[in-house]
Structure 1
Amino acid sequence: GKKVTQFRTGDFVACADVSCAHHADIVCVPDHLIVKIAQAHLKTASMTAIGASALQGVRRAQLSLGDTVAVFGLGLVGQLTAQLAKAAGCTVLVVDEHAERIARAKELGADYGYLVSQNTLQQEISLVTQHVGVDVSFITGASEKENVLLQQRAVDATRAQGKVVIIGQESCTIQRHEVQRKDIAVLLSPYTPGRLTCAAQYSRYGSCVSWSEQRTMQEFVRLLESEKLAVEPLITKEILFDQVPETQEHLKDPLALSTVISYQPDEQAQNSVEAQSGKGVACSDARSCEKNSLCRFVPAIKSKEQKIRVAIIGAGRFARLKLMPLLTDMPGISLNAIIDVDRTRALTLARVHGIDQVFASVDDFFAHEQGSVDAIIVASPYTLHADQVIKAVQHGKAVFAERPLITDPAQYERIKKMLDTYPQAPLCVGYTSAFSPFMQKIKKHIKERYTPLMISYRMNSSIVPQEFWIHADFSVGRVVGHACMIIDLFCYLTDAKPVSVSVEALHAAKEDIFPTDNFSVQLSFDDGSLCSLVYTALGHQELGKERMEVFFDGKSILMNNYRQLHGFGLPTLFNEVVTEPDKGHKAALQAFFDALRKPTFVAPVPFDRLKLVSELTLLIDKLVCSGGGAASFVPAKAAVERDSYGASSGAHKTEREREQY
C-alpha cells in the first residue's frame, strides 16, 4: 500500500500473526508485523514468528548472567528457548518426555538433560543446583496433557522466589499452594505486545512498549543471520506444498520438530498480482447494466424467484459471527460483495461464504460494482455509518445500516437532509430489539391498554478497556452505540413521543470507569408513559445482560435476557422460555428484504422514528457526558452541539473530567 515505507517490491520478508500470515499465494499483513530477511536465510527465517515467541519468553524472565534455567518441553519453541538462554550466559537444563529431543538440545548447547518421567528428576536437579533449585523454569509444552505434568515439575524444580515462565500457552494448571509457599512468580508470555492489535492501536503500544513484535522479530533474525542460533538442525523435513496431504502422519510425529514447506513459482499467481496492482480489488464480477438513478428508487426485486444481491460493508466480529451466517441462510438472498479495509480478513470470509467480489474501500466498490448489487448492509465502525449510508442511497442502493445511524450532530444534519431529499429511500436501521419475538408479543398485549406504561429496563453490559476504540472518540460511547436501541424500543412500545428527559451519570475517581458506561435515563412521553433505563458496566455477567419490567392496566410483564417472558395478570399462554435468545436480528433483516420486494417500499423503522431516536440519543449523550441533568425534549432542537452545555445540565464534573470524556 502507499502508506508502507519500510518495504518495497522484491524484498524478502518474514511475517507473523496467525490471522493473516497464511500459506497462500498472496497474503496481506500489516507492515508492523513484517521484517526484512536475507535471501540466503529464507529457509531458517521461516521460523521467525515462532522464534520471536521464544525470545519474548526469555526476555520476560529477565535473565542474568550466571543464572541456572530449566526448559520443560523441547518442541521447536523449547529448543529455541534453550539456545537463547544459553546465549544469555545461563546454565541450561532441559526436560522432555523424548530422549531424542533431549539429545538434540544437548548437541545444540544445553548443559544437562533429563526425562520428565524419571523418578529422580527432582533429586538430579537439586544436585546440579546445589540443593537450591533453578532460578527460572520455562514451560513450552504443546499438548494440554503434557503441560499439566510439565508445569508441576517446573514448580518443584524452581527455587524459592524464582520464576516460572509459560510460553505460548493460555491455560495454567499450576497448583497455587506450592507457588505461594515458595513465593514463585508465574509469568505468562502468550505473545509480544503489538501482535494482536490493529495499526491504530499499535501506535499506542509503541509509545509504552520498548520491545514490540516487530523489534523482537528483527532481533531473532539478527541472531539467526549472525549464526548465534543453530536453526538448521531443528528442521527435520522439507517438502513441496503439493506434498502436504501426503505428509500428515509425519507432521503428527512428536519427534518432527519442524517441517519446512517449499513453494514452486506460480506464474498464474504472479499475473494475478500484476493485474490487481494499484486497483485495490481482489476479485471483480462486473455486470453490464446501467447504474440506478440517483433520485429515483425502485424495488430491488419483484419476483420471489429472483435473489436480492447483497454487499456488506465491514467484516468485524458482529458481521462475521451474526450477520453473515444469517444472510447466508436466508432464502432469496445472495451475498455478492464484501468491503473491508482488512483485505486478508475480507478474502478469508469471501472464501468461506462464496462471495465473488472483494473491495478494500467503499469508493472502490462503487467505482467497480456496475450494478451487481441491489442492497448494502452497513456494519462498519460506528462513526462511518452515516456517510456510508448517504453514499449508498445516492448511488441508488437499498441500505440496511447497523445501529447507530449517527454519532454526532453534524452527521444527524447530513442524514436529515438526505432523508428529506430522498423520502422514498429504501433504508432500514438495525434497531433490532423491537423485532424480537418477545417484544412483538409484548406489543400485541399492550396495544389496547387503558393506562400509560411504566417500563424499567436494565442493561448489565461488560466493561470495555480504556484503550478500546469505543472510548477513543467523544461521539461513540455506550449511549450512542448501544443505548440508542433501547431508546428506540421505548418509542416503539409506547407509540408516543418523548417530552422530557432526566439523566444521572456515575461519578468515579478511577479513570477506567466511564460515565457513558454507567448511567440512568428517565424518559417522559406525551401519553403519560414513563420509561427508565439503567446502564452499567460494573456488574457480573452471570446476572444476565438485559432485563425489562412493564407495568400497565393492573398487569405486569417480566422479560429476562430474551430467554424468559412472564406475564402477571395475562393468559398463561403468554409465558415463554427459550434456550436460545432471539434479539430480532433475523426478523429485522427479513422485514427489510420483504419490504424491498413490494411495489412500494415501506420502511420497517419509520423515518420519523429514526429522526426522533437520533435527536434524543444525542441529547442524552450530552447530558451523560456533562455529569447528568434534565431537559425538555423538542424534536429538531435537541440535536445541539456537544460543547454547548445547557443550564439544566448537572454541574458535577470538573473541567478536567469534561475534557477527558
Structure 2
Amino acid sequence: MGRSQAAKPVSHDRHSSDSVGPGVDVLRDECGVERAECAASLVRAGRTSDVKQVFINAAQVAEVVQVDVPVCGVREILVAARASLISTGTETVGYGAGGLFARGLRDPSKVSVLVDSLRERGVAGTIRQIRAKSSERLPRGYSGAGVVVAVGREVRQHAVGDRVAYIGAPHAEYVAVGERVAARIPDGVGFEQAAFGAVACVALHGVRLGEPALGERCVVSGLGLVGLLAAQFARAAGLDVIGVEPLSQRRDLARQLGLTTVLDPASEENLPRALYLHTAGIGADILYLCAAGKDSRVTNVALACCRDRGRVVVLGDVGLDLDRAILFEKELELRVSRSAGPGRYDRHYESAGVDYPVGYVRWTEGRNLVCFLELIAHGRLQVTPLLSVVVPIEEAATAYSRLVEDPAGSVAAVLTYAGPPEPPRAEPIRREAGRHHDDKQLRVGVIGAGAFVMGSLLPHFRKLNARLYAVANRSPGSFSALQALYDPEVLTTSAEVVFADPAVDAVIIGTRHNLHYPLAETALIAGKPVYVEKPMTLTLAQAEALAGVVQERQGLLTVGFNRRLAPTTLALREALAGSPRPRQFLYRVNAPPVPADHWLVDPQEGGGRLVGEGCHFIDLLCYLADADVLEVSGGMVGGGSTLVASPDNFALTTRFANGDLGTVVYSGQGAEHLAKERLEVFAGGCVFVLDDFVALHGYGVAGRDVRLPRADKGFRATLANFFDAVRGQAELCTTVDDGLRVARVIDAFLRRPGSGG
C-alpha cells in the first residue's frame, strides 16, 4: 500500500489570508443550501457581530444573542426581518421551567438517563454532557416577514426589494429561507400582519383536512391563536362556525371577530346536548380540536358533539386517550394535522426548491401562505385584533413572559426589527492578540460539529495536545455547548472563514456526505491538512479529482477509516502477520433499518448505505489483506420489496492479488439488540473472531485473545496519527489513495455484470 503523501511539519505562519483561492466559489455554489439551512451564526470570544437572534437558554428563558448574517444558498433568499410572530403554543411550552437540576427534580425518569450515561460514557463523559446541556441555547421562531436583500443564483420567484412572509426561519434580524416557503406580501398588508403566516398556515391546513363543504356546521374547540385563526378560515370556507372556549376574554375576542355562537363549556351542563340544539338536531359535521391540554375527558366530550360519521381534525396538543364507544357508535373519522401543509419538513421542497405539481397537490405550505396573505388583503381574515404584545426583538423575554403569565389576555406576540435594508458583512475571523495559546498545541478547525463529531472526536483533543480553535456548523444551537466545553475562538456557519484563517493548523470535515468532496478540495486549496470523515467522496470521479488535488498541492489528507487503528484490529493484524495464505475474511454488519427519507439513504446527500457506511468495512478488509484488489463481485437483495431497500442489503466480495478473499455481508434489516459488527478470519487452521471491537478471540491458536472494558473503534488513535502527521512526526496510516481504492471497489461493484450500473 503506497503512501503518496509525505508528512510535513506544521508552520504557524505559512498561510496567508488570501490563500483560499478559487475553491471558495465552488464551495459557495455546491454547499450553499446546506450551510444556510438553519439561521447562520457567528460568535467570537470577546467580540460579536451586529445581528440579533432569539434563543431559549438552559433555564428555558428567552435570550437575545449577537450572531452573524446567514449565508444565502442557491435556492434561498436572504430576508431582513421586520416582524416575527411567537407561536403561543409551540414556543411557550416549558418556558421558564428552570435549569437541568430543577427540571430533573420534577422528572424522576431523568435519574435513569443519568445512570445510563454513566454506564456508557463514564464519569468524565457524563460530566461533559451535563456541562454542555447546561450551556445549551436553542433557536426559536418559525413565522415572520421582511424585505428580501439578496437572492440565490437559482431563485426565480423573488427579487431584491420584495416584501415577503416566510415559514421556518427563527426570530432574527436576518434569515435565509427557501424560495418555496416565502410569498410576496400584497399591497395594504403590513409586516406585523404578514408575520402570522406560518402559524396561520397551520390553522388553514387543519381546516382543509376537514374537507369543509358549503353550509356545513363546525365546532372549533379551543379559541387560542390557532383556534381563532381556524374559526375565521372555516367561516371563509362557507361553514357555520361554533366556538367553544372556557376563557371569557377569548370568547369576547371571538365575537369581535364575527363569531355569533361562542359557548363556555363550564357553564353548559351538557355540552353535546347544547351543540345538538345549535346544529338543528344534527351535531357538528366537523370538529376542529385546537385546545391544548392532556386531559382526554375534554377530548371525549368534544367527540360526543359530532354527528354520525362526522370528521374530527386534531390541531392542538390534546389528550388522545379516546373513548372507543363514541368513535364506534358514530363511526367518526379522526385526522391529525401536521403543520402548515404538504411540503413542510420535506427538505427537497423547503431547501432544494422542488415544488409539488399543482394538479396533484393543490395546497402546499407555500400556496397556503399565498392564500393567507390574499385573505388578509381582501379583508376576509383579521389578525390585528389578536395582537396583544408588540415589542422590539431586544425585549423578547418580556414578550414570552407576557404570553406565559397572562394566557387569557395575551393571544399573540410579535417581535419587531428596525435594521438597515443592507445586511452587515461578516469579515474573516482573526485570532485576538493577547489571548493565551500554547504554541505546541495544534489549532484545529472543525467543519460540521454534529452529534458524531461532538461525541466521538472532540473529547480526545485535549489528551492529544490539540485545541478546538474554530467551528463551522449549520446550526448555531450547538455553539453554546461548544463554548462551554472547548472555548473555541471562532464559531461560524461559513466554512470559508475557517479555511481563510491563518491560525488554523488543520481541518476536520464531519458534515453530511455530499459536502465531503467540495469542502476537502477547498481546504486543500487553502493549504490546510485535512481529516475528512468517511466516505471520502460520493463517487469515483470525485475521489479521482480529490487525489489529483492532493498530488498537485502536495497536500495532506486522511480519511476517517478509524477501525484500522482499533486495538482489536491491531492485535488481529499482528496475529495474521505470519499466517499462511490465502485467507478468508467474513465481515457481518447488522445495521437496523433507517427511515426511507433519512438523509443517509438519499443518493444525492448521503450516497446510500453502501457508499456511506459500506466503505468502512471494505477499507478494513483491504487493510488486513494488504494487497491489490483484483476482482469485485456480489449482489443485493430486496430490490422488489418496499420494506427492504436493495442498496441497504448487500454481499460484496473482493479477491486480492495475494489470494485472500474478503466478503462483507451488510444487512439493513437487522435487530438493534444484536451486536453491530463481527469479523471472522480463517487462516491456516486458525480462526480469529473480532466481536464489535470489544473482543478478539483466537481458535486453534493460543495467546491471541483480547478483551476490552468497552468498545474502542479507534477514533482517538486515528486522530493521534493525523495530528502527528500534521506535526511532521509520523506518516499517515490512511491516505487519499486508500479512499480512492474503496471508491474503485464500490464503483466496480455497482457496475458488475447484471447490476444495471
Give the match for residue 200 of structure 2.
Answer: 51
Identical aligned pairs, as a percentage? 25
The CA distance in 2 between the partners of 1:165 and 1:381, in whole Å, is 37
The CA distance in 2 between the partners of 1:506 and 1:425, in whole Å, is 40
Give the match for residue 444 of structure 2.
Answer: 310
The CA distance in 2 between the partners of 1:325 and 1:247, in whole Å, is 36
Out of 401, 415, 429, which is 1:285 matched to? 429
Give the match for residue 631 of structure 1.
Answer: none
Asked if the contact 2:535/2:611 (under 8 Å) is kept, the reply is yes
The answer to whether the aligner puts 1:142 opposite 2:142 as a matched pair is no
Would you say how many aligned residue pairs link Structure 1 and Structure 2? 583
Out of 115, 122, 127, which is 2:272 matched to? 122
* Alpha carbons of structure 1 residues 466 and 254: separation in structure 2 relative to 1, 3 Å: closer
Asked if the contact 1:76/1:257 (under 8 Å) is kept, the reply is no
The answer to whether the aligner puts 1:618 opposite 2:750 as a matched pair is no
TM-score computed with the length of structure 1 as normaliser: 0.76
The CA distance in 2 between the partners of 1:170 and 1:374, in whole Å, is 53
Helix, strand or coil: the match of 1:153?
Answer: helix
* Alpha carbons of structure 1 residues 611 and 107: separation in structure 2 relative to 1, 3 Å: closer
Helix, strand or coil: the match of 2:175?
Answer: coil
Out of 707, 718, 726, which is 1:588 matched to? 718
Cα distance per residue 1:261-289 (max 9 Å; x no partner): 454635xxx39x4542xxxxx34224799
* Alpha carbons of structure 1 residues 53 and 321: separation in structure 2 relative to 1, 3 Å: same
Of stretches 148-157 and 227-236 in structure 1, the one that deviates more from structure 2 is 148-157
Out of 313, 319, 322, which is 1:165 matched to? 313
Of stretches 220-229 and 244-253 in structure 1, the one that deviates more from structure 2 is 244-253
Asked if the contact 2:313/2:334 (under 8 Å) is kept, the reply is yes
Deviation of residue 613 (structure 1)? 2.2
Helix, strand or coil: the match of 1:104?
Answer: helix
Give the match for residue 562 of structure 2.
Answer: 432
Give the match for residue 691 of structure 2.
Answer: 559
Give the match for residue 362 of structure 2.
Answer: 210
In the TM superposition, what are the counterparts of 1:57-456 in structure 2 within 5 Å? 57-108=206-257, 109-115=259-265, 120-129=270-279, 132-143=282-293, 145-146=294-295, 148-167=296-315, 173-174=321-322, 179=327, 182-191=330-339, 192-198=341-347, 199=350, 201-206=352-357, 208-246=360-398, 248-252=400-404, 253-263=406-416, 265-266=418-419, 270=420, 273-276=422-425, 282-286=426-430, 305-313=439-447, 315=448, 319-324=449-454, 329=459, 330-331=461-462, 332-337=465-470, 345=474, 353=482, 356=490, 358=492, 360=494, 362=496, 369=500, 371-421=502-552, 425-436=555-566, 439=569, 443=573, 452-456=583-587
Deviation of residue 463 (structure 1)? 4.2
Cα distance per residue 1:280-319 (max 9 Å; x no partner): xx34224799xxxxxxxxxxxxx96544333344x4xxx4
Give the match for residue 293 of structure 1.
Answer: none
Deviation of residue 71 (structure 1)? 1.8
For 2:163, give the aligned amino acid: F
The CA distance in 2 between the partners of 1:524 and 1:604, in whole Å, is 23
The answer to whether the aligner puts 1:485 opposite 2:638 as a matched pair is no
Give the match for residue 299 of structure 1.
Answer: none
Helix, strand or coil: the match of 1:28?
Answer: strand
Cα distance per residue 1:559-583 (max 9 Å; x no partner): 25x6x647475889844564xx664
Deviation of residue 69 (structure 1)? 1.5
Helix, strand or coil: the match of 1:227?
Answer: coil
TM-score computed with the length of structure 2 as normaliser: 0.67
For 1:228, give the aligned amino acid: R
* Alpha carbons of structure 1 residues 516 and 326: separation in structure 2 relative to 1, 3 Å: closer
Helix, strand or coil: the match of 1:24?
Answer: coil
Of stretches 71-80 and 458-467 in structure 1, the one that deviates more from structure 2 is 458-467
Asked if the contact 1:284/1:358 (under 8 Å) is kept, the reply is no
Asked if the contact 2:509/2:530 (under 8 Å) is kept, the reply is yes
The CA distance in 2 between the partners of 1:542 and 1:179, in whole Å, is 36
The CA distance in 2 between the partners of 1:348 and 1:567, in whole Å, is 44
The answer to whether the aligner puts 1:550 opposite 2:702 as a matched pair is no
Deviation of residue 336 (structure 1)? 4.8
For 1:24, give the aligned amino acid: A
Cα distance per residue 1:4-54 (max 9 Å; x no partner): 45444444332221xxx2222222222322223356533333222111110
* Alpha carbons of structure 1 residues 467 and 488: separation in structure 2 relative to 1, 3 Å: closer
Deviation of residue 612 (structure 1)? 2.9
Out of 174, 185, 210, which is 1:26 matched to? 174
Asked if the contact 2:243/2:263 (under 8 Å) is kept, the reply is yes
For 1:404, give the aligned amino acid: P
Deviation of residue 450 (structure 1)? 6.2
The CA distance in 1 between the partners of 2:493 and 2:372, in whole Å, is 35
Helix, strand or coil: the match of 2:613?
Answer: helix
Deviation of residue 80 (structure 1)? 1.0
Asked if the contact 2:203/2:226 (under 8 Å) is kept, the reply is yes
For 2:526, give the aligned amino acid: H
Asked if the contact 1:168/1:190 (under 8 Å) is kept, the reply is no
Asked if the contact 1:154/1:164 (under 8 Å) is kept, the reply is no
For 1:407, give the aligned amino acid: L
Helix, strand or coil: the match of 2:171?
Answer: coil
The CA distance in 2 between the partners of 1:62 and 1:130, in whole Å, is 21
* Alpha carbons of structure 1 residues 321 and 14: separation in structure 2 relative to 1, 3 Å: same
For 2:743, give the aligned amino acid: S
Deviation of residue 595 (structure 1)? 3.0
Asked if the contact 1:408/1:475 (under 8 Å) is kept, the reply is no
For 1:233, give the aligned amino acid: P
Asked if the contact 2:390/2:416 (under 8 Å) is kept, the reply is no
For 1:515, give the aligned amino acid: S
Asked if the contact 1:95/1:116 (under 8 Å) is kept, the reply is no
The CA distance in 2 between the partners of 1:458 and 1:522, in whole Å, is 14
Deviation of residue 185 (structure 1)? 2.5
Give the match for residue 733 of structure 2.
Answer: 604
* Alpha carbons of structure 1 residues 473 and 238: separation in structure 2 relative to 1, 3 Å: closer
* Alpha carbons of structure 1 residues 305 and 243: separation in structure 2 relative to 1, 3 Å: same
Asked if the contact 1:166/1:189 (under 8 Å) is kept, the reply is yes
Give the match for residue 629 of structure 1.
Answer: none
For 1:142, give the aligned amino acid: A
The CA distance in 2 between the partners of 1:206 and 1:461, in whole Å, is 34
For 1:284, give the aligned amino acid: P
Helix, strand or coil: the match of 1:27?
Answer: strand
Deviation of residue 526 (structure 1)? 5.0
**Which runs of no fewer than 5 residues in structure 2 stay unpaired?**
1-150, 484-488
The CA distance in 1 between the partners of 2:267 and 2:565, in whole Å, is 60
* Alpha carbons of structure 1 residues 604 and 304: separation in structure 2 relative to 1, 3 Å: farther
* Alpha carbons of structure 1 residues 131 and 204: separation in structure 2 relative to 1, 3 Å: same
